[in-house]
Structure formats: C-alpha cells, structure tokens
Structure 1
Amino acid sequence: MLEAVLRVRDHSSYARATADSDARIDLWCNDHCDLLHVVGPVETVADLAAAEVGVKERVQADDECLLITDECLRDHAETTIDAYLARHDCLLLPPIRYEDGEKVVRVLALDAERLTAFFRDLVADFNVTVESKREVASPARRSPSSGLDAVLPTLSERQREILLAAHEAGYYEIPRGTAMTDIAEVFDIDRRTAEEHLRIAERKLFDAVVPYL
C-alpha cells in the first residue's frame, strides 16, 4: 500500500476561509454532520460554517474551537474528491485539513498504479501538489489515521533543513549554542530569511502538537 499527502487548491468555502489568514481547519466527516477543529481566526470560520451548514454545538478557548455542524459540508460542496477516490479504489484518511487556501488530504492506495491513476484524474480538474508519498510496509500499533504521521505537519525542505540545523547547533539550548546569523551562513541566505523559515516551521509544529497536550 501507498500513502500520499496531497494539497488540492479548490474553491470550497473552508479553503477560502484560510486563504488570507493563519486559520487552520481539521474536518472529520460523519455523514450527517461534520466535526471541525479550528485554530486561528475562529470567528471567521464559525460564521462561515453557520452560514453554510449550521452549527449545533461550539466549544471555544481563545483562538481555538471545536464545532459540530448541523449538516455535512459534502452535501453542499460544489466539488469533492469522493468520486475520484471511488473510481480508483483509494481511501481518504481523516481528517481533511484546510490551510493556506488549500485542502490537504491523506490518501491510501492499494498499489502504485491506482495512486497514479487517481492523481492523473485529479490534476485534470484541480491544481494538485504532492507533499509526500510513502510505502506502508508494515502495520502500525495504531491506525493509519492516528499515528504520528497524522499529527506532524508537512514542512518544506528548507524549513526542515533549518529547523534540524538549529536544533543540532544548540539554538534551543539555554544558553543558546548558536545564533541565527550562524545558521543563515550555513545555507548562504540572510538572517531574516532563515528566521522566517524557522518561525514558520515552529508555528506548524506547535499548531499540530498543542491540541494533543
């Protein structure tokens, strides 16, 4: 089996809600309703959900909340990837994540041929980026949707490189073992650019882990 993480740019309402903000939405579909975990500008997403599908329950703390909707967004969405999944016998691993104006999905395929065919069909209608792909060679202790890979965010190659370099050089030690200018020199970039990559990586990691603390 193969697992792929894809970023799909579509015009769904939840994707639009995250296009120009730091909002992140994790969605679990339960056929008759959705469970949403929202981090960031909560009010914008809550108002959108209320207008689109209704909200029956809401639990909020600061800039994070859980929403249970009256109806499933899938029944109101103009486009979904469900038909593409069924056509090629692929599975969607929840949750669906919306961030940066895109829908991030984890797809499980029985073999490479099915995954390739699914991807080709999808890119014919959507702008799709492959974030990662891996072979599922052995069963995990927990289900595919609840393992560590489901929690950890996807970092760009440069974000991952700078984060690892900072950690290895002692940037997070007390006192710090290195300065940001030193890290920037390793990658031949200016300090501000290195700091931006590191802060984005840190934010992604914190946003992903904090809900589980």
Structure 2
Amino acid sequence: MKYVRLTLRFHDDVVHPVHELIDRDEGVERDLLLHGNTATEGWDTLLFYVDGDPDTYAAALEAADGIVDYELTHLGENSFYAYIEQEADAFDAALFERFSRTGVIVVPPVEFVDGGEAHVTVLGDPAALQSTVDDLPDGLDVSIDRVGEYDDRQAAFDPGLTGRQREAVAVAVDLGYYAVPSEANATDVAAELGCSAGTAAEHLRKAERNVMSALVDLRSFE
C-alpha cells in the first residue's frame, strides 16, 4: 500500500484567514486538522488540534468571513480543540473533492504551518495517487516530499514538532550540533535558518522538550 507525503503551498488569494495567523503570530505553534466533513447543511465542519494561545485563535475566527460557528475545548494552558463550522467556498470544495476520490485516503492529521503551507499524507492505489496530485486545483503549488510503503507504526512516536522546529532539528543534525564533541552551535543553525541565534536556540529547546516528553510517555517506559 503506497503513500505519498505532500507539501501544499497555498497562494495568497486562497490562504484561509485563520491560517494567515500562523504567519503573523508566534502565539500559535501547531495547527492540525484532525477531521473534516464537507456534507453538512451547506457548510464544512472541521476539527483542529491547536498548540497556542486560545484567545488569539478565537479572535482570528471572529474576524474571518464565512465562520458559521465554533467552539474551543481547552486541554491545558496552551492547547485546545477547535470545532469549526464554516461556509464552503469553491476552492475548498475542489480541494476536498480531489482528496475524496476513489482509491485515495487522507491520513490525518493535516498540519498547517507558516508560509501558507500544509503537510498532507495520502495513501492508496499508485495510479489514483498520481492522478490526485496531477489534478489538484489552481491556487496552490505541490511538492512530493516522500513516497513509500505505508506503515502506521511511523505514527507511534509523535513528538508534536512544528514545521519550523523540525527544520531547525534537521539543520542541527546536518551541521553536527548534536555530535560529541559538538561541531556547530546555535549561531551556525541560525545562519542556515535565516533567523537570530536566540530564535534558533528556542526552536531547538522546544523541539528537544517535546521529543523527550514523547519518549518518556511511550509504553516501554511505564
């Protein structure tokens, strides 16, 4: 059973107003679409998991056109579910249609990250996967990040890194930041990321915290 990991880059005119928030506000670290239903009384029903400031997220929902209703369910100080009902638009309908065709399945979550991007995993028949990628609607660019045999065990360990945190860790590993002795420092990582050393160090600290927390939570540690 084949799968493909895609990065979708939404053009400015089709980026959802709430997802523009991810670019503008560092208070939202992680935005995952867990489930979606496009067949409910003329509007879409969506469930997101969010790491970030709920007040900021709620303000974005209030300001966005097309939001019919929403409810935030708090899980902790800075994590919550967002249940959203929104009016369907032509672009979203076209995108949902492509990923709902026979022979393909979207494996949740879909992760929305800064830069107007989303990471999507789709599995199914190779021919159907290829036709889906080839037939995505205008308004976005797509790149294929990974192709292979699907194995659900890849989701067993999920440290919950944001796209930027994963990028920082990947750069750090490549530069030898974690080598013993270390071959790079936060300034070197920052130079590759195009940010300050303090920002790079913060990305790495948060990533390390999440990885270690997820590791300790594994059953093998009980």
TM-score higher than 0.5 here?
Answer: yes
Q: 2:172 aligns with which of 152, 156, 162?
A: 162
Measured after TM superposition, the shift of residue 106 of structure 1 is 1.9
Q: Percent identity?
A: 14
Provide closer, same or farther for how the CA distance between residues 29 and 134 of structure 1 changes in structure 2, counting only shifts above 3 A. same
Gaps of 5+ in 1: 172-177
Which structure has more strand as a fraction of its residues? 2
> What are the within-5 Å matches in structure 2 for residues 1-213 of structure 1?
1-9=2-10, 10-22=14-26, 23=28, 24-29=30-35, 31=37, 33-49=45-61, 52-59=67-74, 61-69=76-84, 71=85, 73=86, 75-80=87-92, 81-87=95-101, 89-100=103-114, 101-111=116-126, 113-122=127-136, 125-130=138-143, 132-136=145-149, 139-140=151-152, 142=153, 146-148=155-157, 151=160, 154=163, 155-156=166-167, 159-163=169-173, 165-170=176-181, 180=185, 184=188, 195=197, 197=200, 199-200=202-203, 202-203=205-206, 206=209
* Residues 5, 119 of structure 2: 8 Å contact kept: no
Measured after TM superposition, the shift of residue 203 of structure 1 is 4.1
Q: What SS does the corresponding residue of 1:168 show, helix, strand or coil?
A: coil
Gaps of 5+ in 2: 218-222
Provide closer, same or farther for how the CA distance between residues 96 and 200 of structure 1 changes in structure 2, counting only shifts above 3 A. same
How many residue pairs are counted as aligned between the two chains? 193
Provide closer, same or farther for how the CA distance between residues 193 and 25 of structure 1 changes in structure 2, counting only shifts above 3 A. closer
CA distance in 2, matches of 1:126, 1:99: 17
The Cα RMSD (Å) is 3.9
Provide closer, same or farther for how the CA distance between residues 121 and 202 of structure 1 changes in structure 2, counting only shifts above 3 A. farther
TM-score normalized by structure 2?
A: 0.64
TM-score normalized by structure 1?
A: 0.66
Provide closer, same or farther for how the CA distance between residues 90 and 44 of structure 1 changes in structure 2, counting only shifts above 3 A. same
